[in-house]
């Protein structure tokens, strides 16, 4: 008799698991959607007042920075190439910057998803010297994404 009760309980539990339905968590779905909309592109070309900048994601996960004079063609030899750039997330809204180091200078290309002004440029280039003094700050717009 005890065997029949245990067998019935076991079968009932098995059927309950077989017909269980997983309910998706809406909070998880929302975060996946927002992060999918704000992914870092593999290649972006930005134009500032004085420069054209191309940033490429490398196979090793690092970023490559190439820059030209603003009037130069992108097919010409770059005036500066910096490798091993690092992506740094900035908050939870999707903003980030990519930092490159070259001869004591820090080059940062900021992506501005969230801003106080609708007129704010989508990218900003900042360059700091070895003493962390800002020597360049220029807004940039996407030429090719």
**Three-class secondary structure of residue 10 per DSSP:** helix
| Global pTM exceeds 0.75 | no
pLDDT score, position 13: 56
Dihedral Cα 75, 81, 82, 87, nearest 10 deg: -20
Q: What is the mean pLDDT of each run of 10 residues along the chain (145 residues)?
A: 68 56 50 49 92 95 96 93 93 84 94 68 91 93 76
pLDDT score, position 8: 66
Q: What is the pLDDT of residues 90-131, one digit of tens each?
A: 877 778 999 999 999 999 999 877 665 566 678 899 999 999
Report strand pairing: 51-57 vs 63-69: antiparallel
């Amino acid at each position: 008799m005890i065997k029949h009760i245990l067998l019935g309980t076991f079968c009932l539990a098995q059927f309950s698991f077989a017909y269980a339905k997983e309910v998706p968590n809406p909070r998880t779905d929302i975060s996946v959607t927002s992060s999918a909309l704000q992914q870092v592109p593999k290649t972006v070309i930005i134009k500032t007042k004085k420069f054209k900048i191309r940033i490429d994601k490398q196979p090793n996960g690092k970023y490559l920075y190439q820059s030209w004079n603003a009037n130069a063609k992108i097919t010409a030899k770059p005036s500066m190439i910096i490798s091993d750039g690092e992506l740094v997330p900035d908050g939870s809204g999707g903003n980030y910057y990519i930092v490159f180091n070259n001869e004591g200078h820090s080059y940062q290309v900021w992506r501005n998803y969230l801003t106080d002004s609708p007129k704010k440029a989508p990218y900003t280039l900042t360059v700091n010297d070895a003493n962390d003094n800002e020597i360049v700050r220029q807004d940039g717009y996407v030429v090719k994404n």
